[in-house]
A = this chain, B = another copy of it.
Amino acid sequence: MPSFLPVKQIRVSDVVFKQLKSAILSGQFSPGQKLPSERELTETFQISRVVVREAIRSLETSGFVTIRQGPHGGAYVKELGFDRVFESFLDLFLMGRMSVAELIQVRQLIQPEVSRLAALHVNADSARLLEEALAFEATPKPSHAERVKGRMATDLVLAKMCGNRLYQAILEPLIRLTQEIILTVKPEKTVFHDHSEHQAIVDAVLARNGPEAAAATSKHLNTVQSGLLKLEKDFRKRIGTVSAS
């Protein structure tokens, strides 16, 4: 008997998922555009609606589309952000496969370099954004949550303006993860760093002084570190009672 090849057993919904994903990645559907409706795709692929729905659901879970209901509803292609990276890091942390100490150690390597690069790439636009972020941090916030988020504004702008989008893709999720940890524990009173440290970083960046920007960032992170490490134990105690978002 001739040796036949085994028939690959794959789920139809997987095939559809990959085709749609491929179409998005190759630009056949641009961000903002709408995929065909479920019923149309049913006809196109000649499969049941359930399968189409599962495929689209996977696209949504992967962050490629958002789904809206009603006429003019459907699966709309999203601009690919860093949410998935963030979610992945968050889950690793929640699973206990990463500690605050490790998080800070990585930030201590990457962030000074990012600030250094930001100082080299600064231009009129980014300078304005940076000053706005710093000013935003200084404005009083109604809630603790907003205060914590506001505090990260400068860091996020620096990550964005460093000229390397991969640095941004790594650092922004790490900063958001730090936020998440602080907010979960909610140490209402604690203030980890004062405004002057961010001011020093921004000054150095605006002066295009790379080494100084890196040094100021490094110093800033040392300040943050001590406060954060104390939080982890509290955090681990709480997450048992808090539902995953």
Q: Give the residue name and chain of the B residue nearest to A20 (CB).
A: B244
Chain B residue contacts of A164, Cβ below 8 A: 102, 105-106
CA distance A92 to B50 in the complex (A): 29
- Interface SS of chain A: helix
CA distance A164 to B167 in the complex (A): 18
Contact B98 A25 (CB under 8 A): no
The size of the chain A interface, using a CB distance under 8 A, is 46
Taking the nearest CB of chain B, how far is it from the CB of A101, in angstroms? 8
Number of chain copies forming the complex: 2
Contact B106 A109 (CB under 8 A): no
Contact B240 A26 (CB under 8 A): yes
CA distance A102 to B117 in the complex (A): 12
Q: Chain A: residues with CB nearer than 8 A to chain B?
A: 13, 18-19, 21-22, 25-26, 50, 53-54, 57-58, 61-62, 80, 82, 84-85, 87-89, 91-92, 94-95, 97-99, 102-103, 105-106, 109-110, 113, 164-167, 169-170, 239-240, 243-245
The 9 closest A-B CB pairs, nearest first, are: A22-B244, A84-B88, A61-B61, A102-B166, A58-B61, A102-B164, A85-B88, A25-B94, A106-B166
* Residue contacts A-B, CB under 8 angstroms, 29 given: A18-B243, A19-B243, A21-B244, A22-B243, A25-B94, A54-B54, A54-B57, A57-B58, A58-B61, A80-B92, A80-B95, A82-B88, A84-B87, A84-B88, A85-B88, A85-B89, A88-B88, A89-B169, A97-B165, A98-B165, A98-B166, A99-B165, A102-B165, A102-B167, A105-B164, A106-B164, A106-B166, A106-B167, A109-B113
